[in-house]
Amino acid sequence: IQVTFITREGQALEVAAAEGASLMETAVRNGVAGIEAECGGACSCATCHVYVEPQWREKVGEANAMESDMLDMAYEVAPNSRLACQIRISPELDGLTVRLPMRQV
């Protein structure tokens, strides 16, 4: 399963993702800069904020209530904002592309 992170500088980083891992873990394991993930994936820090590319929004789905509340803490939240620790990698997400925000919180 391949996923792509578009960095703040606009560079596309394609990395291999393991099924069942979170998108946040995938970023951290691959040394993708810009995901801080201070809480380690507990949905309580909002420093794993990403923007899901429009064509992927439906497949990725919407944030649940707890995630939406936490997203309020993030910097420049948009309708396609998600917390990467709450996105679970599955084969359906092969090719997923997300953009990193200019900064976390």
User: Which residues 63-92 are close enough to bind ligand FES by CB under 6 A?
Assistant: 70, 83, 85
Distance between CA 14 and CA 30 in Å, rounded?
10
Kindly write out the interface string for residues 13-52 of this chain, putting x where it contacts ligand FES by CB under 6 A and - elsewhere. Answer: -----------x------------xxx-xxxxxxxx----
Nearest to 3 by CA among 28, 20, 23, 21: 23
Q: How far is the CB of 72 from ligand FES (least distance, A)?
A: 12
- Contact (Cβ atoms closer than 8 angstroms) between residue 83 and residue 43: yes
Which residues are near ligand FES by CB under 6 A? 24, 37-39, 41-48, 70, 83, 85
